[in-house]
Amino acid sequence: MSEAVDAIIVGAGLAGLVAAMELADAGKRVVMIEQEGEQSLGGQAFWSLGGLFFVDSPEQRRMGIRDSRDLALQDWLGSAQFDRSEDFWPRQVAEAFVDFSAGEMRSWLHQMGMRWFPVVGWAERGGGHAHGHGNSVPRFHLTWGTGPGVLEPFLARVQEHRRKGRIAIRFRHQVSRILRAGGMISGVGGEILEPTAVERGQQSSRSITGAFELLAPVVIVTSGGIGGNFELVRKAWPEDRLGPCPTTMVAGVPHHVDGRMVAITQNAGGAVINADRMWHYTEGVRNWAPIWPAHGIRILPGPSSMWFDACGERLPAPYLPGFDTLGTLRHILATGYDYSWFVLTQSIIKKEFALSGSEQNPDFTSKKWLNVIRSRVLNKRAPEPVEAFKENGSDFIVADTLPELVAGMNALTGDDLIDLDHLTMQIEARDREIANPFSKDAQVTAIRGARQYRGDKLVRTARPHRILDSAHGPLIAVKLHILTRKTLGGLHTNLDSQVLDEHGDPISGLYAAGEVAGFGGGGYHGYNALEGTFLGGCIFSGRNAGRHAAQNL
C-alpha cells in the first residue's frame, strides 16, 4: 500500500538528517528511507574524525592564524582547477560554501552546541605554488566528539521531531526507483529487507521480505558515494589523469556506501557530471580489527616520515606527508606498483601519527579533556590505537636496525625490491641535513616550517632528529595502500540542491545533497579537496535542499 507525506529523504546520513531537520522545522511531514538498520543512523559521518573547514574562526585567531574569505577562495579555486563547461554550478556552490565557512557556519553550529578542539589542524598543504592546490593556512577544525559530535545536534533535533510525529524513519527499506507521474516527482518504491542485528558498519543482509511504495511531491537523495563499491570505483577511475587503477585497495568506508542511488536517480531523469573526479588516500593500512569488508584506516601523518615508493626510491617534493594527496597518488601509480612505504622512528610515530576515524580516537570522541591529556600528553608512547596498529597491524614492521627493517619490508611483500645500501644512502643523506640550518632538503625545510606554527609544534610535528639516531628508535616501516574514500563528482545540482536534467534544467521536486551530489553542484571540490570540506558540504547542501523544498511545497 502507498502512503503520502510531504517529503521523502533517501539516506539517513548527515546530509539527510540536516535536510529532514529543516523540513520538519518548517512544519512538513518527512519520511527518511534507510537501507541499513537503526544502529547505522548517521551513516559515514559517525566514522569520521569530525573535521570542519572554517575561515577566520576564533580558534584560528587564538592560534595566531590570519585567514580571510579571499585567501580561502584563492586556495579553493587553485585546488579545484575548474576547467569544464559543466563546472558552472560546482563553482557557484564552491563560492557560496566559502562564504558560509567564513560567515554563519560556525556560529550556527555553535548555537546548536557544537564545539571544537582549540588547536587547528593544517591539512593538505598543497603543491608548492600560492595560486595552486592546498591550504595556505591551517583550517581543519576537529569537532569535540569527532564524527558523533558532528551528528549529535542534528540527531537530537531529528529525534525530537520523531517523537512529535513530524519525521519517521523506515530502516531496512531499499529504494530501487524514483516515481514520476505526469512528468512530476511522485515518490519512491523499493524493497523491504530482512531485519538485521549486525553492529554499525558491518555488512548486512540484502535478503528481501517485501515491497513498498511511498508517495510525496519531494524526494531528496542523500545516499552517499561509491567508495565501498570497488567495481564502481574501477569503472569511474580516470586512468588518463591518475594512472592505472590500483590492483589492490582497502576500503575507507563501509560496504553500504555502494553508489546504487546514482543510477536510480539517473533513471528518473537526473544528470551526473564529473564522475571521474574522486578522492582516495595514499596512506591506507589494513585494519587489524576490521568492521567492514577490506576495512582500511588512513594514517594522518605529520611532516617527518620519509616516504619511499615500492622500489625504495624517496618520493620527491611536493609529494611529502600531508601535502598533495592526488599528486602523490599519481606519482605512486606511475611506478607500476600500488603501494608505498613510510620509514620513521618511535619519536615520530608518537608525536605525528593520527588515525582517521572516531573509533581510532576514543579520547577526542569521549569529549573528556582528561582522556586527551592522558593519551596525548602524559603517555610516553603513541596514543593507544596507534600503538595497537604498530603491534598488531600486518603493514607495520618494527626493528632496531636498518638491515633488520629492510629484511622485514622485503619479507612482507615477497618482492625483495628494497636495496639496503640504496635506502641507507638516502636516509643518511637526509640525516646530514638535520644539522644544517641552510638545508636544501625540501622535507627538512617543511618540517622546520611546520614547527613555526604553534599548533604543529605542540601536537603534530616531532623535534627534528636523525632517522638513524638510536635514541629515537626503534625504526618503523609502514606499508601504505590506496584507500578508497570520497566521490567528488555526482548528481548535477544547483545552489538550491535541485537535481538538474541533461539540459541543465531543475527537475521539480527532486533534490540531492551530500556526497551523492559531489557535496553540492555535482562536484564543488573540482579536482582536489582541502579537507574538512566533506562534512561541511553535507551540512551545507542538506540545509539548502531542506530549506528550498520546504519553501516550495
Query: Is the predicted pLDDT of residue 436 greater than 90, yes or no?
Result: no
The residues near 335 (Cβ < 8 Å, ≥ 6 apart) are 309, 310, 311, 313
Amino acid at 489: G
Mean pLDDT of the 26-37 span = 98
Task: Quick: pLDDT tens for 516-536.
Answer: 999 999 999 999 999 999 999
Total residue count of the chain as it appears in this document? 553
Residue 367 reports pLDDT greater than 70: yes
Q: Residues 157-184: pLDDT tens digits?
A: 999 999 999 999 999 999 999 999 988 9
- Please report which helix (H) or strand (E) contains residue 482, including its range: strand 475-487
CA 127 from centre of chain: 20
The full 3-state SS of 208-240, as one line of letters, equals EEEEEEEECCEEEECCCCCCCCHHHHHHHCCHH
Average of per-residue pLDDT across 464-489:
97
What is the model's pLDDT at position 377? Answer: 83
Task: Tell me the β-bridge partners of 3.
Answer: 214
> What pTM does this model have?
0.97
- Tell me the C-alpha distance between 345 and 364, whole Å: 25
E strand intervals along 396-474: 396-399
Domain 284-483, CATH: 3.90.700
Percent of the chain residues past pLDDT 70, beyond the cut? 100
**Mean pLDDT throughout 387-416?**
97
Closest by CA to 219, choosing from 187, 192, 174, is: 187
Tell me which of 218-227, 232-241, 375-384 is least confident.
Answer: 375-384
Q: Provide mean pLDDT across the span 411-429.
A: 97
Q: How many other β-carbons are positioned within 10 Å of the β-carbon of residue 511?
A: 31
Report how far residue 401's alpha carbon sits from residue 390's, in angstroms, rounded to the nearest whole number. 17
What pLDDT score does 435 carry?
Answer: 87
Residue 2 confidence class, pLDDT cut points 50, 70, 90: low
Residue 128 has pLDDT above 70, yes or no: yes
Average pLDDT over residues 238-255: 97
Residue limits of CATH 3.90.700 in the chain: 284-483
Average pLDDT over residues 112-126: 97
CATH 3.40.50.1100 fits 7-224+488-552, yes or no: no
Residue 1 has pLDDT above 70, yes or no: no
Q: Which three cell numbers stand for residue 176?
A: 530501487
List, for residues 135-150, the tens digit of each pLDDT value. Answer: 999 999 999 999 999 9
Average pLDDT along the chain: 97
pLDDT digits (tens, 9 = 90+) for 318-333: 999 999 999 999 999 9
Answer for the pair 357, 48: CB distance below 8 angstroms, yes or no.
yes
Residue 28 per-residue DSSP state: -
Distances (CA, A) of 127 to 74, 114, 300, 320: 14, 32, 18, 9
